[in-house]
Amino acid sequence: MSEEKSLNFIEEIIEADLESGKYKTILTRFPPEPNGYLHIGHAKSICLNFGLGLKYGGKTNLRFDDTNPVKEETEYVDSIKEDVQWLGFNWEKELYASDYFEQLYLFAVDLIKKGLAYVDDSSAEEIASLKGTPTVPGMDSANRSRTIDENLQLFAQMKAGKYADGEKVLRAKIDMASPNMHMRDPLLYRIKHAHHHRTGDAWCIYPMYDFAHGQSDSIENITHSICTLEFIPHRELYDWMIDKLEIFPSQQYEFARLNMTYTVMSKRKLLQLVTEGHVQSWDDPRMPTISGMRRRGFTAESIRTFCDKIGVARRENMIDFSLLEFCLREDLNKSALRVMGVLDPLKLIITNYPDGQTEELVSENGPDEAYGTRIVPFSKELWVEREDFMEEAAKKWFRLAPGAAVRLKSAYIIKCDGFTKDANGIVNEIHCSYLPETKSGHDTSGMSVKGTIHWVSVTHAVPAEVRLYERLFKVENPAAEDGDFKEYINEDSLKIISNAWVEHSLLSGTTATRYQFLRKGYFCLDKESAASKLVFNRTVTLKDAWSKEVKKH
């Protein structure tokens, strides 16, 4: 009651249904086809359906819409279950449309007996040409007037395997002149002599979406069947089936699917990215798949927050990728361990520091005291970030440059005295002197500097590979551009750094550990990482006011 947040349109419907007594409790479902991996668009649907169940004390089923055996595989079933669980949701029942094949077959027989379905011998082409167009009414098939007995016999023979693929179909008898193309005698069953991932070879006829989905909802007593906008034209048929079959009246509601800038969101396109090698796999960290995002280091919490923030409505949308990044950073900032890692190393020598000496300095692990501290070794030679040094300081430059002073995080203030270059004219060493009285936590100097930089001790550092990811596409909406969407792929979306140095403490992490490399971004261990060779993914950068400053000039 204290929650003032306004309801989305589906919540309004549910509250009205609960209040009127239409339902005592609600039952929703998340109904993926197991023909690919789940992506962030599915996450919106998952959060919606499971969220509604949770919010209103109802339940949510996970139902696999597995009515097309040639596209579906157990591998996908497994990944979908893993992804839903990872997102933090528990389903009431794990169900399959294929569980209902027998019941669905009986429904079809019922329809035939009622004179509302018939077997058609027409080819796919003939059916298409008789269908008409949106502006031209269709025409009846010659088989439309078959007797009920004949239809019953033919359908039984279809089931028995008497016919080859495509030889016959079962159609609903509705209205070939309907303005809704889906009502022009839609196909109910087609013949496919194919192996099904669950029913094996038990069936050679398979129900179409329109004869499986709504009926499955009804069998399960789903109260609110939520799908995306493109199914609006199917709703008339959905209702027709329930009416004619006289079964539980589930109701379909549609919302707008998620679109996000700089990525694509269709399984077909994502599949192409994988099969054509534009990315490595479905869980490539650049992919908008749940598994890709998980591997990249996204937290389930951040994805849930994102889905909550984008809302649920019925108009087309294009969400800024930056909103997702905002939700990610907001969550990671609360929990990521603060560590130091140098991605583009440049050697810094503290000329007045004793040779061979090591100090154990203390550095904080997290955003607040509760995270405690750890020891970070310090010595005469350090790796620092190459981009933290300029031969000639720019305006507003707070970092290293000849004559400039900076603080080494958790260590000392140092002053840059000079640098050397290699034979190619590339800077290879920076020479600095440190101020012993500026030791972190014990600073008695009263000095203050504008810049603080991260570092790792050369003799103590651990080598690591770091993978940096950029957006996968160069344009906001690749699907809407002229030509093939793949022309807009960002060829520089993956940058592999093989010579990074990180602090020793990173040897003890797991893939579940979230790190903030100070000043560089949020990172996590990749699944390919090993003790012998650490591999990190950059989940997301930190916001960077300096790079904006640079771009301005």
Partner RNA sequence: UGGGUUAUGGUGUAAUGGUAACACAACAGAUUUUGAUUCUGUCUUUCUAGGUUCGAAUCCUAGUAACCCAACCA
Residues with active-site annotation:
33, 257, 267
Of residues 396 through 455, those in contact with RNA by CB under 7 A are: 396-399, 407, 409-410, 438-441, 443, 448, 451-454
* Radius of gyration over every alpha carbon of the chain, rounded to an integer in angstroms: 31
The DSSP code sequence of 471-512 is: -SBSSS-GGGSSS-GGGGB-TTSEEEEEEEEE-GGGGG--TT
Q: Under DSSP, is residue 544 helix (H, G, I), strand (E, B) or coil?
A: coil
Per CB under 7 A, which of residues 461..500 are in contact with RNA?
none
Cβ 228 to RNA, closest distance in Å?
A: 8
Separation CA 291–CA 295 (nearest Å): 6
Using rule CB under 7 A, residue 160 touches RNA: no
Of 208 and 464, CB closest to RNA: 208
Residue with tokens 């016959």: 168
State how far the Cα of 348 lies from the Cα of 432, in Å rounded to an integer: 7
Whichever of 253 and 280 has its CB closer to RNA, that residue is 253
Of these, 1, 3, 6, 444, which contacts RNA (CB under 7 A)?
6
| Binding of residue 134 to RNA (CB under 7 A) | yes
Residues 433, 437, 443, 445, CA torsion sign: negative
Q: Which C-beta is closer to RNA: that of 182 or that of 304? A: 182
Going residue by residue from 189 to 228, which x/- string records binding to RNA, judged by CB under 7 A?
Answer: -xxx-------------x-xx--xx---------------
For the bound state, the minimum distance from the C-beta of residue 53 to RNA, rounded and expressed in Å, comes to: 19
Q: Which residues of 439-449 are buried (b: 16+ CB within 10 A; e: fewer)?
A: bbeeeeeeeee
Write out the binding residues for RNA, residues 51-70 only, by CB under 7 A. 65, 67-68
Give one DSSP letter per residue of 113-181, joined into a string: HTT-EEEE---HHHHHHHT-BTTB-----GGGG--HHHHHHHHHHHHHT-S-TTS-EEEE-S-TT-SSG
Residue whose CB is less far from RNA, 50 or 378: 378
Residue 374 interacts with RNA (CB under 7 A): yes or no: no
Strand pairing category for 405-408 and 452-453: parallel
Shortest Å distance, C-beta 472 to RNA: 18
Site string for RNA, 227-266 (x = CB under 7 A): --xxxxxx---------------------x----------
Q: How far apart are CB 408 and RNA at their closest, in Å?
A: 8
User: Rule CB under 7 A: which of 335-364 touch RNA?
Assistant: 338
15 is an interface residue for RNA by CB under 7 A: no
Residues 495-524 binding RNA (CB under 7 A) are 516, 518-519
CA pair distance 479, 263, nearest whole angstrom: 9
Nearest approach in angstroms of CB 423 to RNA is: 29
Nearest CA to 265 out of 480, 87, 52 is that of: 480
